[in-house]
């Protein structure tokens, strides 16, 4: 039987932890006061979804300060360039142009995609997913949304899927090969970014914490780790 008191205690503990986290965020600020107002577009679709992505973007905007506007465009299931035979409208390549035009002028575009591309039903190797990311970036570079400036894009390789995913319920739809492919994404993304001229960040090296349900989604702590890493780097990307 469900224990209401135990659930209340667990929720109370969660709220207390979040209150401490928010207090730390308010006191530990990076000084970006000398930087101009910028618009940062975050396109994220590795099962994160719009609700959680919006929260991560709020964390990043808080860390950056009032001179930065962070706009999120999260969508669960989004891919770099592949049409999903089960769900419609998840192809990032088809969405990138109207997305950027709706937010112009853009100073920095951040793209973190690839986990969904690893699903077995797309039959794509890590190398092919890397090419798909390059194709997406090239289309973004060609979009007239940069206010006359040089296109400025950061590609983030998502953290590799955890082994625990293979024992989770979602393994049936993700497939057995996606864990191995996800481990190779950073290598091919970095290679493509060097070829096409954009920034690169390997989130797998940041120690972002996964949940223990599907081993693909980041916890609140994981999002905070990623946001902190971006906050430290954004000013350099905008110089």
Omega cis (within 30) before 105: yes
In this structure, how many other beta carbons lie within 10 angstroms of the beta carbon of residue 47? Answer: 21
The order of strands in the sheet holding 153-157 is 68-72, 38-44, 108-112, 153-157, 199-202
pTM of structure = 0.75
pLDDT confidence bin for 205, thresholds 50/70/90:
very high
pLDDT reported for residue 42: 52
What is the end-to-end Cα distance of the chain in Å, rounded? 58
pLDDT reported for residue 1: 47
DSSP string for the chain: ---HHHHHHHHHHHHHHHHHHHHHHHHS----TTSPPEEEEEEE-SS-HHHHHHHHHHHHHHHH-TTEEEEE---TT-BSSPPPSSSSS-BHHHHHHHHHHHT-S-SEEEEE--TGGGSGGG---HHHHHHHHHHHHHHHHHSS-STTSPP-EEEEEPPPPPGGGGGSTTHHHH-SSHHHHHHHHHHHHHHHHHHHT-EEEEGGGTTPPBPSSSSSSB-HHHHHHHHHHHHHHHHHHT-
Phi, psi dihedral angles at 63 (to 5 degrees): -70, -35
In this structure, how many other beta carbons lie within 10 angstroms of the beta carbon of residue 193? Answer: 21
Q: Is 74 left (phi over 0), alpha (psi -120 to 50) or beta?
A: beta
pLDDT confidence bin for 25, thresholds 50/70/90:
low
pLDDT reported for residue 185: 98
**Comparing 97 with 45, which gets the higher pLDDT?**
97
Q: What is the pLDDT of residues 90-141, one digit of tens each?
A: 999 999 999 999 999 999 999 999 999 999 999 999 999 999 999 999 999 9
pLDDT reported for residue 231: 87
pLDDT reported for residue 47: 47
Residue with token string 């962070």: 70
pLDDT reported for residue 38: 52
> For the domain bounded by 38-237, which CATH number is listed?
3.40.50.1110
């Amino acid at each position: 039987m469900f224990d209401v008191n135990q659930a209340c205690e667990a929720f109370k503990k969660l709220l207390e932890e979040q209150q401490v986290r928010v207090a730390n965020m308010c006191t530990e600020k990076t000084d970006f006061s000398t930087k101009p107002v910028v618009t940062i577009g975050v396109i994220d679709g590795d099962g994160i979804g719009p609700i959680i992505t919006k929260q991560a973007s709020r964390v990043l905007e808080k860390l950056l300060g009032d001179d930065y506007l962070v706009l999120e465009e999260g969508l669960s299931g989004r891919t770099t360039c592949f049409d999903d035979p089960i769900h419609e409208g998840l192809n990032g390549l088809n969405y990138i142009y109207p997305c950027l035009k709706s937010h112009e002028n853009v100073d920095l575009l951040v793209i973190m995609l690839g986990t969904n591309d690893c699903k077995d039903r797309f039959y794509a190797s890590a190398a092919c997913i890397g090419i798909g990311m390059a194709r997406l970036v090239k289309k973004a570079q060609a979009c007239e949304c940069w206010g006359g400036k040089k296109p400025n894009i950061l590609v983030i390789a998502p953290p590799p899927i955890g082994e625990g995913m293979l024992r989770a319920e979602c393994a049936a739809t993700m497939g057995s090969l996606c864990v191995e492919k996800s481990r190779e994404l950073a290598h091919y993304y970095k290679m493509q970014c060097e070829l096409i001229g954009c920034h690169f960040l390997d989130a797998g090296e940041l120690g972002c914490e996964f949940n223990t349900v599907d081993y693909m989604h980041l916890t609140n702590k994981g999002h905070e780790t990623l946001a902190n890493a971006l906050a430290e780097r954004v000013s350099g990307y905008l110089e």
